[in-house]
Amino acid sequence: MQSEEQSTSRILSILRELIETLVFTALIFFLVRTFLFENYRVIGRSMEPTLENDQFLVVNKLGYRLYEPQRGDIIVFHERADEDRKLIKRVIGLPGEVVEIRHGEVFVDNLPLDEPYLADPGTSSQSPTSIPEGHYFVLGDHRTNSSDSRSWGTLPEERILGKAWISYWPPSLWGIIPHETYGDGL
């Protein structure tokens, strides 16, 4: 039969191990969420038909620490006016390029951009915009319902959180987020 002292010692040992495990788990969760990945909920219809309202995504935050955003990447970033609000758009123009929109058709350095992911490119036009170093030109895929670089200018790189990577909710949309690749010239 165990003494009362041995029972108390055993309980304290188990409690200590449990607390250490919980603290270690919380630390790992914090490090992963801070530096590697973050979940994001699409709010609104600005990325339809590629992404839907209330779709849940995993955002890869590590990738852009190793390489630059590319044309076609779908990115999550902090809004300029509200640091706590995050938006999601597609990278269209890269630093040093000139983006122009003519009756809904996007031109980068005077070359038309093939955008098969658009359901309706709209009919808007925008005069040529030179993209400074360290900035990107981003657009929503639902061009007639998106606040993007057409209205608030180029996006500074330091506002970018990461690249949309995986969709995990709803289950019917589970999978890797498609990255659009463009042909020669763009």
Catalytic residue numbers read 46, 89
Residue 78's DSSP bridge partners are 86
| Spatial distance between the Cα atoms of 168 and 81, rounded to a whole number of angstroms | 29
Phi, psi at 182, each rounded to 5°: -110, 150
Element (H, E) at 29: helix 4-31
Residue 45's DSSP bridge partners are none
Q: Which of 52, 50, 54 lies closest to 72 in space, CA to CA?
A: 50
